[in-house]
Amino acid sequence: MTEELLKPVGFDRVDSAVYTRVVSRPRSTAAELANHLDSTPAQLRRPLARLVDAGLISRLNGSPARYVPAPPEVAIDALVTQRQRELEELRNRARGLARQIRDALPGHRSDIIEVIEGEQAVVDHVVRLQLGALEEVLIVDCPPYLYGGVTDNPQEAQAMRRGVRYRAIYHAPRLKEPGRMRLLQSNMATGEEARVLPSVHMKMLIADRRTAAIPISFRATDLQSIILVHASPLLDALVTSFEYLWEKAIPLGGQPSEHAGPTRNDQEMLTMLAAGMKDHAIARALGITERSVTRRVARLLENLGAQTRFQAALQAAKRGWL
């Protein structure tokens, strides 16, 4: 609404009304403006002075004085930029005050953990961690997901092009969701080292072993809040947890064995078994019948001496088949 046009940059309703009138009727006098706005020249004295001081309008010499607008796109852009600087300065001061309050609390270490709240703030920090990584990013991938669903992670490919190593552990049941296996294969194609566990509920991202991002609750259904953990024994514990899970997880990807190994079709099936996919999903992916899947799975279990599909995938990993 035009009567509140300048509200975001600190002007009131009257200021906005005067400004829009000057824009539509350049060279108006205070009396002409007052007559249109059902006011008096004395009542418009301060709004006109504020607009002149802000560079939105100019006062022409003469009697009576007339007012003309500065180019709106230039003048308003300048005000927006100035307001953004002021807000950023206010934000920095607020953070400084928050640090002072936290530091004053007995036994508090403000440099260890940091709570980030708000979906966009969470996304921004996760992106920033990856873009700032120099050596390695460790990921445990399980719900809840950023943006609430399947989505690409362009920061990963960008970081890997810079030589950053990515290691990711996936929660197997979620790989059956539409599109998620495609994302996994795309990530591995660009260099990600991927492993899978039948069940993992410890979502995290660790950049260069310097900072970790974890949900404020592992039982949360969305990512409205996260905790940033900086260099500390707590961060060391998270890295140790990742390495423990990494050792237990089944590797995905790799090249076919050159001797006494499975066929390429068997490798594809073993990868899908490791991801926890059911027969009907495997059948669709390979373009065969469910009966054929059942027969081939039974043969793989027998060859690997396994009683369950997950054991088969684990044995295949140990033999270098995955």
pLDDT in tens, 64-121: 999 999 888 888 888 888 888 887 788 778 777 766 665 665 544 457 888 888 888 8
Mean local confidence (pLDDT), 192-204: 85
Lookup: tokens for 70: 């500065």
**Domains of the chain and CATH, by start:** 1-110 (1.10.10.10), 114-251 (3.30.870.10), 264-318 (1.10.10.10)
Report how far residue 149's alpha carbon sits from residue 168's, in angstroms, rounded to the nearest whole number: 18
Lookup: tokens for 210: 């310097």
Residue pair 178/150 in contact (Cβ under 8 Å)? The answer is yes
Residue pair 112/229 in contact (Cβ under 8 Å)? The answer is yes
Q: Which amino acid belongs to residue 36?
A: H
Burial class of residue 147 (count of CB atoms within 10 Å of its CB; 0-12, 13-18, 19+): exposed
| Model confidence pLDDT, tens digit, residues 155-164 | 888 888 888 9
Half-sphere exposure of 87 (CA within 13 A, CB side): 9
| Model confidence pLDDT, tens digit, residues 242-260 | 998 988 888 876 443 433 4
Report how far residue 232's alpha carbon sits from residue 213's, in angstroms, rounded to the nearest whole number: 14
Specify the higher pLDDT residue, 280 or 274.
Answer: 280
pTM above 0.75, yes or no: no
Specify the higher pLDDT residue, 103 or 321.
Answer: 321
